[in-house]
Amino acid sequence: MSASVAVFQNGTYGNSLGMGMVHVALLGDPTLRLHPVPPPAGLKVTTNASGGVDLSWAPSPGFVLGYHVYRSSNVAGPFTRLTTRLVTGTTFSDPVMSTNVYLVRAVKLEETPSGSYSNASQGIFQSLDGSVGAPRIEMVQPANNSVFGANPLIRLAASLFDPANAVTNVLFLANGLKLGDAPGPSHTLTWSNPPVGIHTVRACACSLDGAQTLSTPLTVRVDHAGSPRLAILRLAGGSNLISGPDVLGRTYRVLASDNPAAGPWQTLGTATGNASGHFEFLDPGAAPQRFYRTVFP
């Protein structure tokens, strides 16, 4: 961010435009920070025996002068600063116990070629009941009920909101099993060659205290794009059970031939994949040697 203010040639700031033939402009986004300071992490708020509230947090990973603590009746603010001087440790006690929301910021002495200044980090938030600082995570990719063909590369992405800066890592799960870690800030992972079937995918935010926050599950479907791998099971009485994986509820025509090189394929019937992504077809009068195939659509 670059903020540029020109100096008037005649007099001081006034309300006229182009005073002294010099234009005044603010360039860039004033919310952007040229020297961001890493915030503290894992803000905890607990009651104490004196009837007050104790705050503790993990230190900022940067070299900071200390911390300021703020309090508000709600998360929307305004916040009042409780510390007259910087707290050099990572604890603070508030003699007032209520449902207040607390905010802690690290402060660093920022030295630049044009001078030095006190640079505060972004704040971390927490309330006595822990609800304000609880992380929230949601899957943003892929869309729910997305369908992929065979051997896909599926991009998984999650959005994380972490007011207390307590999340240590984000990982992705498929059917309850870990696929891999998703380092921030983008929290993405590529799932290579997932198996055919219907999969439940979630993102998990792991916090400093060992707590885990799960996203809403979404469904990912991977199929053979109409060409399932067939399995044949010979049953008693001379019948064959033909089965295969399918995740879309497709209806296949099952064809058979005792000698594909000599004659046409005969349509035996149809088979539709069930909710678990599988279909079966029984051929009750199968010859000792018979070839099968499925056709879709």
Q: Decide which of 189, 205, 222 is a domain's last residue.
A: 222
> Looking at residue 122, which CATH number applies to its domain?
2.60.40.10
CA pair distance 164, 41, nearest whole angstrom: 6
Q: Is the pLDDT of residue 2 over 60?
A: no
Q: Is the pLDDT of residue 8 over 60?
A: no
Which pLDDT belongs to residue 7? 41
| Same domain for 109 and 41 | yes
| Same domain for 159 and 142 | yes
Q: What are phi and psi of 241, to 5 degrees?
A: -110, 115
Give pLDDT tens digits for 86-100: 999 999 999 988 888
Give pLDDT tens digits for 19-51: 566 665 656 676 777 889 999 999 999 999 999
Average pLDDT value for the chain: 87
Mean pLDDT score, 155-173: 95
Residue count of the chain: 297
Which pLDDT belongs to residue 163? 94
Residue 179 exposure: Cα atoms within 13 Å on the Cβ side: 25
104 in a structural domain: yes
Which pLDDT belongs to residue 1? 37
Which pLDDT belongs to residue 114? 86
Mean pLDDT score, 199-223: 93
Q: Residue 138: CB partners within 8 Å, gap ≥ 6?
A: 158, 159, 203, 215, 216
Q: Is the pLDDT of residue 68 over 90?
A: yes
| Same domain for 248 and 194 | no
**How many helices (H) and strands (E) would you count in the chain?**
0, 23
| Same domain for 70 and 121 | yes
Q: Is the pLDDT of residue 140 over 90?
A: yes
- Overall domain count for the chain: 3
| Same domain for 260 and 174 | no
Contact call for residues 201 and 173 (beta carbons, < 8 A): yes
Q: Decide which of 172, 194, 222 is a domain's last residue.
A: 222
Pairing of strands 146-148, 218-222: parallel
Query: Lowest mean pLDDT: which of 168-172, 180-184, 215-219?
Result: 180-184
Range of the domain at 153: 136-222
Structure tokens at 242: 């033909």
| Same domain for 184 and 147 | yes
Which pLDDT belongs to residue 97? 86
| Same domain for 29 and 122 | yes
Which pLDDT belongs to residue 27? 62
18 in a structural domain: no
- Residue 16 φ/ψ region, left for φ over 0, alpha for ψ in the -120 to 50 degree band, beta for the rest: beta
CA pair distance 168, 105, nearest whole angstrom: 19
197 in a structural domain: yes
Q: Is the pLDDT of residue 249 over 90?
A: no
41 in a structural domain: yes
Mean pLDDT score, 127-154: 91
255 in a structural domain: yes
Structure tokens at 32: 């952007």
Q: Decide which of 71, 98, 127 is a domain's last residue.
A: 127
| Same domain for 159 and 248 | no
153 in a structural domain: yes
pLDDT band at 15 (very low <50, low <70, confident <90, very high): low
Q: Is the pLDDT of residue 190 over 90?
A: yes
Give pLDDT tens digits for 98-127: 888 999 999 999 998 888 999 999 999 999
% of the chain residues with pLDDT over 70: 90
Which pLDDT belongs to residue 78? 93
Strand spans (E) along 113-239: 115-120, 124-127, 136-141, 146-148, 153-161, 167-174, 177-181, 188-192, 197-207, 212-214, 218-222, 231-234
Q: Is the pLDDT of residue 18 over 80?
A: no
